[in-house]
Amino acid sequence: MANMAQIEKNVPKIALITGASRGIGAAIAIRLAQSGYDIWANYRSNHEAANQLKNEITKLGKNCTLLPFDVSNEEQVKKSLSPLIENTTPDVLVNNAGFNKDTLLMWMSVEEWRSVTDVTLLGFFLVTKAVLLGMMRRKSGRIINIVSTAGESGLPGQTNYSAAKAGLIGATKSLAKEVIKKGVLVNAVAPGFIETEMVENLPKDEIVKNIPIGRIGWPKEVAGVVDFLCSEDANYIVGQVISVNGGLYM
């Protein structure tokens, strides 16, 4: 569902990815660059990792625009994206920004609840709203939300994170119904345990015992599914949650 005007003018496709400097977000950025997209890479504060990502994408012959802003801050979102979307609408938006602050609910602070849910849910709302009208006017676009197995099955100690990701699954399905007739396809990808900073301090040997495939996943495996959902082969897929979890939750 590429933008015909862009094709005619030989203008590169653009993918906006939030939380793109590390882990799954970086893997998605690199994979989409390999598929021909210029990248708008959002991140919050890790400038070193962001510049490393930019160098990798540049080596692939694609452009990478670094966008340091907090997705849950309305003013920062508008300040960073407004100049870009005045004349250009990204072909793809990947809402990947998110993090966890794990503890049992009885000990969880309001800040631990709000910071996690704000980045995932408010961040999705603010960034998606910023680019959605342009996609609808153009009558093409892909929005892919990175959710989690935690949002499907729930995990103890992650009530805030599970609630945020479950909410994003609901938002995916609702938005998909709102915009499908305008040519915008919305889907979600739900990773399980993936080799990123989020699992560094977890008991991996114990976790793997519960994963039927017998190992923790790799960021590139999530990125591959996102790449597929951006392709012409996924033109008939909408409102779905595709799990990448090694069979942890079926």
Annotated catalytic sites, by residue? 161
In this structure, what are the phi and psi dihedrals at residue 134, rounded to the nearest 5 degrees? -65, -40
> 30 is written with which tokens?
């690199």
Amino acid letter at 144? I
Q: What is the largest CA-CA distance in the chain?
A: 57
123-138 vs 74-85: helix axis angle to the nearest 10? 20
- Number of other CB atoms surrounding residue 157 within 10 Å: 15
First to last CA, the chain: 30
Residue 173 exposed, middle or buried by CB count within 10 Å (0-12, 13-18, 19+): middle
Round to whole Å and give the CA distance between 82 and 88: 10
